[in-house]
Amino acid sequence: MPANLASIRERARVLLQGICHVCPVCDGRRCPTGVPGMGGIGTGAAFRNNIAALAAYQVNLRVLHDRKDQNLGLRLFGQKLAFPILGAAVAGARVNFQGRLAEAELARAFVQGAAEAGSLACTGDGPVPELIDAGLQAIAGAGGRGIPVIKPREDTEIINLIRRAEAAGAPAVAIDVDAAGLVNMTRAGQLVEPKTVAQIAGLARGTSLPLILKGIMTVADARAAVDGGAAAIVVSNHGGRALDHTPGTAAVLPAIAAAVGEKLIVLADGGVRSGVDVLKMLALGARAVLVGRPLAIAALGGGPAGVKLQLEALADDLAVAMRLTGCGDLGDIGPQVLCGQYLDFVRSKLSTLAK
């Protein structure tokens, strides 16, 4: 098995030939119509916007301070995590990766690799049962160290899948509400739909697990999630794979976090490629981040060991970024570490919407 990230990426490049270029900078420019595959939907603008929104912020270098030791640990959904970086849900190996990795192997790589690194990974759902089955089996096999993400199906189907998540020992369960328009589900004859506040409330009451809503991109939807009793949200545009021309998540995260961040847990994904990107998302109001494409490449090229190595590399990079911005622990990270074109907006939103 490859022993370093360079060899893992090279192995993944060979396995993914014709699907993903495994670019040195994963920014969507060479795969604008890669669905199925690794790219964004339509023009790929939403994928690229995630990268651009993060790049619009710069980081203030600070080295005259006493924060010599960096503590990246936190508790999330009752779990002790080594760092605030989780695996995002990546599924559909038969379609997206043309079967070059079995669904069960993909799910296990994410869940087991994240667990061994001291974190959690999400698992996916889709039009064929093997996707949700593989994820739940991987979670059960890792002692419950994973979060299943369920499509916004009919409520009775969601409850049935939540029961299976409970049985697998999952610490939380998620619904990727931004999958309400996915054609691969409707073409397979499976209903996916937008959810009302009343529906979310019914689902939240139907389980003792924290309910996470993934795919929140506006303050209005974030407040609706609060009203529905969600325990957490993920600010996400589905990796640019749901709706073309949506903004990058880092552009909308500050307003959402300021509006609801005291009422539920705010997570974020979209374009995170380095520990500095993690730092930026945390400074903008996220409690933790989810990472998808880099871990998918690591899983293809190195299995669970590859995922573990990629997560640990991101965490190491985050620790350096924290030290060089004067942050000793996650609680020190705030808007003061940032500069850039959105900074005045961030500060104004944090001071007004949070009131």
Are the CB atoms for 101 and 111 separated by under 8 Å? Answer: no
Task: Indicate the pairing of strand 79-81 with strand 74-76.
Answer: antiparallel
Count Cβ atoms within 10 A of the Cβ of residue 179 and give its class: 0-12 exposed, 13-18 middle, 19 or more buried: buried
CA 57 – CA 52 distance, rounded (Å): 9
Question: Which candidate, 27, 46, 53, places its Cα nearest to that of 246?
Answer: 46
* pLDDT, tens only, 118-170: 999 999 999 999 999 999 999 999 999 999 999 999 999 999 999 999 999 99
pLDDT string in tens for the chain (355-residue length): 557 999 999 999 999 998 999 999 899 988 876 778 889 999 999 999 999 999 999 999 999 999 999 999 999 999 999 999 999 999 999 999 999 999 999 999 999 999 999 999 999 999 999 999 999 999 999 999 999 999 999 999 999 999 999 999 999 999 999 999 988 898 888 999 999 999 999 999 999 999 999 999 999 999 999 999 999 999 999 999 999 999 999 999 999 999 999 999 999 999 999 999 999 999 999 999 999 999 999 999 999 999 999 999 999 999 999 999 999 999 999 999 998 655 665 556 555 554 4
CA 252 – CA 21 distance, rounded (Å): 29
What token pair was written down for 32?
Answer: 């604008």
CA 138 – CA 157 distance, rounded (Å): 21
Question: How many CB atoms are located within 10 Å of the residue 120 CB?
Answer: 27
Question: Which candidate, 304, 271, 269, 303, places its Cα nearest to that of 286?
Answer: 269
CA 137 – CA 207 distance, rounded (Å): 20
Amino acid at 325: T
* pLDDT, tens only, 322-345: 999 999 999 999 999 998 655 665
Half-sphere exposure of 349 (CA within 13 A, CB side): 20
Domains of the chain with bracketed CATH: 78-317 (3.20.20.70)
CA 177 – CA 274 distance, rounded (Å): 26
Are the CB atoms for 58 and 338 separated by under 8 Å? Answer: yes
**Dihedral (CA of 284, 5, 149, 118) sign:** negative
What token pair was written down for 143?
Answer: 């002692």
* pLDDT, tens only, 194-205: 999 999 999 999
The residues facing 58 across adjacent strands are: 339
Which of these is catalytic: 21, 65, 238, 245? 238
How close are the terminal C-alpha atoms of the chain, in Å? 52
| Whether 21 is catalytic | no
Are the CB atoms for 66 and 85 separated by under 8 Å? Answer: no
What token pair was written down for 259?
Answer: 């509006």
**SS3 labels along the chain:** CCCCHHHHHHHHHHHCCCCCCCCCCCCCCCCCCCCCCCCCCCCCHHHHHHHHHHHCEEECCECCCCCCCCECCEEECCEEECCCEEECCCCCHHHHCCCCCCHHHHHHHHHHHHHHHCCCEEECCCCCHHHHHHHHHHHHHCCCCEEEEECCCCHHHHHHHHHHHHHHCCCCEEEEHHHCCCHHHHHCCCCCCCCCHHHHHHHHHCCCCCEEEEEECCHHHHHHHHHCCCCEEEECCHHHCCCCCCCCHHHHHHHHHHHHCCCCEEEEECCCCCHHHHHHHHHCCCCEEEECHHHHHHHHHHHHHHHHHHHHHHHHHHHHHHHCECCCEHHHCCHHHEEECCHHHHHHHHHHCCC
Angle between helix 197-205 and 219-227 (nearest 10): 40
